[in-house]
Structure 1
Amino acid sequence: MRFPGRKPRLQLPRQFYGVWAAVTVSSLGDGMRQVALPLLTADLTDDARLVALVAFAGQLPWLLVSLLSGVLADRLERRRVLWLVDMARAATMAGVALLTVFDALSIPLLAAIAFLLGCGHTLYSGSWAGLVPSLVAPESLTKANARLQASWLIAGSLLGAPVGAVLYEITPALPLGIDTLSFMASAGFILLMTGGRPAGSGEAPSERRSLREDALNGLGWLWRHALLRRVCAMSALVNLVVAGLMSVLVLYARHTLELGSSGYALLVSVFAVGGIAGVPLASYLGIRLGPVRVLWLGSLIMGGICAGLGLAGSATAAVLFVACYGAVSLVWNVTAATLRQSQVPAGLLGRVSMTFQMVNVGSGALGVLLTGLVYYGIGPRASFLAGAILLCLASVFLIGSRVEVPVDEPAGVPAG
């Protein structure tokens, strides 16, 4: 029975639930790995510069192969790419677990492993960028993205991180081995998926451009789209701060807050709890305020929270600030992803999304290096206060921006 004046609930297609399952099981392993690898690094060194170096190695592939990944995503069958990358990452993590058992890890080796996993993540993201919009109707994108973000937080941060920390105390190889299995399970779910619009720009093989021309086409489209260009610049500055602070969070938790390894996992879990609270807010605020206002206010609020972390005098205060940051961060990420998906033509989605990601993660890599230097030279609290200033400045990029209704257009023709 439908009540007068009530909007019908937006339904998600059956194929989406295969994606959802893959994200959930993979996120569980990701949460364990994201706790285990920083702890492995911190066990080998207390030098913030070396800790930041390992984190930087994981970000570097975004600068090197992002554009190529976007081109391949628009040319190849996306699900096949996702399956192959998941299996390759499973093999890599199995090797890491084996090296851990034999106590054969070092900082250079960890940096090399982080680089390989970063390459896999970059290639995976290129195909992932166009998968959800190919399965879900435009009016359901916010709902779908919010569910995926929530699953990533619950499985990865709320469950994977604390369980990974506990298993790490037993033996570091345990969380790494489970991450290996999670990659294999995710590959299985992707392999079983059916439906969705295929990748490709719609060009005939004889008309298809070179890899370089296709990559530049996506870069040029993003540059000419006024709103997404500004969102990209804003997101880059936000990511510079967040990636930098996350790279030294394990040291901040251990030495400044005196929480130890389990305390670091606690902060990651609290971030997830806050993110879950932000799930219902994403759709509500997007409708009431519009995406531009949500992004603008979000950057200001994140700046205030970051300043609070820098000034926090107790672990309790830090936990509360991290929880609030998790809620605002989820709303911000869902809004930015949905806005990008709604504005970019399907045939360009892989290239434009990966150009977007290349800029953002490239700035994150720079943030990791800068934060490591500030943390080492001035102190941990200075890193958070400097980040707060940059997050507040990021809101300037969206002053005067507005969302334009996209029109159907062939690949290569810019909107806006």
Structure 2
Amino acid sequence: MTRTPAAARLPRAFWTYWAGVTLTALGDAAVYVALPFLALAAHPAGTGGAGAVGAVVLAGSLPRFLAPLLGALADRLAPRGLLGFSAGVRALAVAAVGVLAAHGTLPLAALLALAFLNGLLSTLAYATGGALVPRLVAPEGLARANSLNSGALMGAPLVGYGLGGGLIHLLGAGGTLLASAPLILGLALAALALPTLPGAAAGGRVRPLTDLRAGLTVIRRSPLLLALLGMSFALNVAMNVMNVRAPLHMTTSGQGAPDYAVFEMLISGGVLVGIVLVTPLAARRSLDALIGAGRWVLVLGTLGFVFTPVAVWWGAAAVFGLGLGLLEVAATTRSQQLVPTEMRGRVVGALMGVNAFGLTLGAALAARPLGTPALMLGLGAALALLALTWPLALRVNRQRRDGEVGQVRPAECGIKQ
């Protein structure tokens, strides 16, 4: 069992990185709000507006399938350069599209290019950060650092969405992009102040298929990583089903957009509470125990969506978010402990690539003519089965570790043959 003691003070380098991530997350959220309005301006309602918005969302999601390649880059290249490049190019691209939008109607092709580039470089920054944080902080501070990092990535957008809405009202969608660019540049500026670190696996060419196979091999050889991957895949399926079915359910059973806004706020609030709880809980419980508990909280929340009343969905959203926050930080920290330093980027990339298939499957399931209660019941049952695999994975991992300890050569014990 892995127990995380009370975290020591985090170094200045981490706080610098965290500040950059927070600023960039604010800018990203404002861009996320502005892009649909720009797509609608290019194709007004009734002339393909819904299709244009869907195309922009798809273009921003496709780069997730390239995560294994980007993870390999995160392993081999210096993190300062990757973070500075990703944030700097994104800021320039957002500002350029903002200028074009301010001077007239923007072609949809430019929006699609921006969405794809933004998604690509965001994925690169995420993989780089996942490999970098364990190198910036001591092992005893890793859980706290991941809690703060997840809080920035999930909490800052709550403010950013409101900021984006206000900026659109004041400046228009194009002006919102121009105002967001300096915020996105925050991570590039923070990268300049980070310590100079080489790539953890410096040297060697990037071979996409070989690197993907290497990342998956590391996962396959670890019972715990396999169990974490299975739950993460199913969770991405469930979340995309919810992303599609929740607005429809709030429209048919409630007041539509206002009820859906409350639903999203409760999920986000639950996530933030779960993230905050990880650090104090990790001081008294092992990360493995927190992961097991988080899985069952997610099951409970998912089963709440089987029922029809909107109030029950609100309660289930808060419970689901709590489990998601607990699992996000605990599983991320445990994965970083299990993966060798020089392989972290490739493993993160492999996980993100597999999860991209989960998101795609979730969207496909949500589009099927299945009743929401039956669909959520099936997802809840699948998550429950996966929750049951965690104790089994722990037992197999313990047996393997004990077997390796027992296989000590006689010469290593001072016994001559």
Regarding TM over 0.5, the answer is yes
The residue aligned with 1:271 is 267
Q: Is the 8 A contact 1:245 1:383 kept in 2?
A: no
Superposition deviation, residue 288 in structure 1: 4.5
Aligned residue for 2:185, secondary structure, equals helix
The residue aligned with 2:408 is none
State the distance in 1 between where 2:381 and 2:336 align. 29
Residues 37, 209 of structure 1: alpha-carbon distance in 2 compared, 3 angstrom cutoff: closer
Question: What letter matches 1:336 in structure 2?
Answer: A
Question: What letter matches 2:15 in structure 1?
Answer: Y
The residue aligned with 1:220 is 217
Whether 1:191 and 2:189 are equivalent positions in the alignment is no
Question: What letter matches 1:211 in structure 2?
Answer: R
Question: What letter matches 2:233 in structure 1?
Answer: A
Superposed CA RMSD in Å reads 3.4
Q: Is the 8 A contact 2:23 2:187 kept in 1?
A: yes
Question: What letter matches 2:220 in structure 1?
Answer: W
Q: Is the 8 A contact 1:235 1:360 kept in 2?
A: yes
The residue aligned with 1:155 is 156
State the distance in 1 between where 2:181 and 2:275 align. 29
Deviations 1:367-416 (A, max 9, x none): 23332x13xx456666655543443343244241226699xxxxxxxxxx
> Which stretches in structure 1 are left out of the alignment for 5+ residues?
1-6, 407-416
State the distance in 1 between where 2:113 and 2:243 align. 20
> Which stretches in structure 2 are left out of the alignment for 5+ residues?
402-417
Superposition deviation, residue 81 in structure 1: 0.8
The residue aligned with 1:243 is 240
Give the number of the structure whose alpha-carbon radius of gyration is greater: 2
The residue aligned with 1:58 is 60
Aligned residue for 1:199, secondary structure, equals coil
Q: Is the 8 A contact 2:250 2:256 kept in 1?
A: yes
Aligned residue for 2:392, secondary structure, equals coil
The residue aligned with 2:356 is 361
The residue aligned with 2:299 is 303
Superposition deviation, residue 327 in structure 1: 2.3
- The structure 2 residue matched to 1:395, chosen from 378, 384, 387, is 387
State the distance in 1 between where 2:174 and 2:378 align. 36
The residue aligned with 2:413 is none
Residues 277, 67 of structure 1: alpha-carbon distance in 2 compared, 3 angstrom cutoff: closer
State the distance in 1 between where 2:189 and 2:281 align. 36
Question: What letter matches 2:61 in structure 1?
Answer: Q
- The structure 2 residue matched to 1:341, chosen from 336, 339, 357, is 336
The residue aligned with 2:255 is 258
Residues 121, 228 of structure 1: alpha-carbon distance in 2 compared, 3 angstrom cutoff: same
Moved more, 95-104 or 300-309: 95-104
Q: Is the 8 A contact 2:7 2:141 kept in 1?
A: no
Question: What letter matches 1:297 in structure 2?
Answer: A
State the distance in 2 between where 1:109 and 1:328 align. 38
Deviations 1:196-228 (A, max 9, x none): x532326xx5xx366254443233222222211
Q: Is the 8 A contact 2:28 2:160 kept in 1?
A: yes
State the distance in 2 between where 1:36 and 1:382 align. 35
Superposition deviation, residue 51 in structure 1: 6.3
Moved more, 379-388 or 115-124: 379-388
Aligned length: 387
The residue aligned with 1:352 is 347
The residue aligned with 1:232 is 229
Q: Is the 8 A contact 1:48 1:248 kept in 2?
A: no
- The structure 1 residue matched to 2:19, chosen from 18, 21, 35, is 21
State the distance in 2 between where 1:34 and 1:126 align. 20
The residue aligned with 2:325 is 330
Aligned residue for 1:311, secondary structure, equals coil
Residues 167, 326 of structure 1: alpha-carbon distance in 2 compared, 3 angstrom cutoff: farther
Q: Is the 8 A contact 1:74 1:199 kept in 2?
A: yes
Deviations 1:4-62 (A, max 9, x none): xxx87511111111011011111112232334445666885899888666544333222
- Alignment identity in percent? 27
Superposition deviation, residue 76 in structure 1: 0.8
Aligned residue for 1:194, secondary structure, equals coil
Q: Is the 8 A contact 1:60 1:365 kept in 2?
A: no
State the distance in 2 between where 1:248 and 1:115 align. 25
State the distance in 1 between where 2:151 and 2:28 align. 14
The residue aligned with 2:86 is 85
Counting only pairs closer than 5 Å after superposition, residues 54-203 of structure 1 correspond to structure 2 as 54-63=56-65, 65-98=66-99, 101=102, 102-104=104-106, 106=108, 112-157=113-158, 159-170=159-170, 171-194=172-195, 197-201=197-201
Moved more, 140-149 or 185-194: 185-194
Superposition deviation, residue 311 in structure 1: 2.7
State the distance in 2 between where 1:98 and 1:385 align. 48
**Normalised TM-score (structure 1):** 0.80
**Normalised TM-score (structure 2):** 0.79
Aligned residue for 1:401, secondary structure, equals helix
Q: Is the 8 A contact 1:310 1:381 kept in 2?
A: yes
Question: What letter matches 2:69 in structure 1?
Answer: L
Q: Is the 8 A contact 2:6 2:283 kept in 1?
A: no
Deviations 1:103-154 (A, max 9, x none): 4465x76555433322112222222221101101111110001111222333
State the distance in 1 between where 2:375 and 2:114 align. 27
Deviations 1:176-213 (A, max 9, x none): 33332211122111222225x532326xx5xx366254
Moved more, 305-314 or 118-127: 305-314
The residue aligned with 1:313 is 309
